[in-house]
Amino acid sequence: MAYQIVVCGTLVPDPLQTLEPIAGQGRPALKNELMLPAVLDPWAGHALTEAATLAQAHPGSKVWLVALGPKAKLQQVMMTVAQKVPFELVAIDGPASGFCDSFETAAALADAIRGIAGLGIAGLGIAETDLANLLLFGGWESASRGSGSTLQMVGERLGITEQFQGVDRVTVQPEGGFEILERVEGGKHQVSVLSGGPAVFGWATGYLAEPRNNPQVGMANMRLVMPALQKAKAVALPGEGLSYQSVALPKQQRVTRIVKDQPAAEIAREIVAWISEE
C-alpha cells in the first residue's frame, strides 16, 4: 500500500547557542534571533526520518515536509536537510519564534496541507475516503514551541481523530493496519493497533539513526525546494489575546546535600519548597 505522508516541522535555533529573551514589539523575542544559526527541530527531524523510511518500504508513497519559518532561514536549513531523505517542501513564510501561539501555528499548517495538490482535501468538507492513505507526522514536542499541542490541533482541523503522541515505533501489519508503540508514564510503552489511516503520529525519538548526507538526494530535492521557497505564502501570527508577564533565562544555581534513607515524599517536598522560593 502506498501512503501520503505529511510531516510538519519548523526551525529552531541551534541548541549550542545561548538564547537571551528580550522585550520585542508587543511580545517577547530572542536577542539577535535572525542572526542565530538554525536547524530543523529535532523532534520533526525524527518524524521526517521515520516518514522517509516508511515511504521507501512502500513503493508509490510520497513525503511532504510542511515547514513554517522565515523564508531566508528555511533556505539555509534546507541546504542541509535536503541531503538526508527525499521529500517535497511546502514552505510557509512566517515567524518561527518560540513565543508564537500554537493555535495560530496549527491553523497556518492546516491551511497549507489543504492546499497540497494530490491529497484531495482542498475543501473544508473532507471525505474519509480521501484521507484513507494520509498519515500526518510531526514532533511530539518541539524545541521551539514545546507545547505538545500544535500537531494535535492540525489533525483536528483536518478531521483526523486517530492520534498517537510520544510514538517510538510504527509497524505496518500484513493486513494493512498499524501497530503503534507509544510512550506512557513510568518509562513504559503502550501498544496500540490501528486498522488503517488517516492518523496523526507525534514522534518521540524513535529507533532510527539520522541518515547520512547524500549529495544526489540533495540535488534532487533542491530542484523542488527552491521553487517552493519562491512561492511560499506569507502568514502573520499576531497572537491576539496572548500576553506574557515576564520572560527570563533560568537561574543557574546548585545546592547539594547528601542524605541517607530519606523518604521520596520528603525529598519531593524539599524540591517543591526550593522551587517555590524562586
CATH topology of domain 4-234: Rossmann fold (3.40.50)
Give the chain's end-to-end CA distance (angstroms, integer): 55
For the chain, domain boundaries = 4-234
- Distances from the Cα of 221 to the Cα of 6, 50, 218, angstroms: 16, 17, 5
The three cell numbers of residue 85 are: 531523505
The three cell numbers of residue 193 are: 493497533
pLDDT in tens, the chain (278 residues): 788 899 998 888 877 777 777 776 666 777 777 777 888 888 888 999 999 999 998 888 899 999 888 888 888 888 888 888 999 989 888 887 777 778 888 888 898 888 887 665 544 344 444 567 889 998 888 776 566 788 888 899 988 889 998 889 999 888 888 999 998 887 888 999 988 878 999 988 878 888 888 888 889 888 888 888 888 888 887 766 666 666 676 677 677 778 888 888 988 998 888 888 75
Q: Characterize the bridge pairing of strands 233-234 and 178-184.
A: unpaired
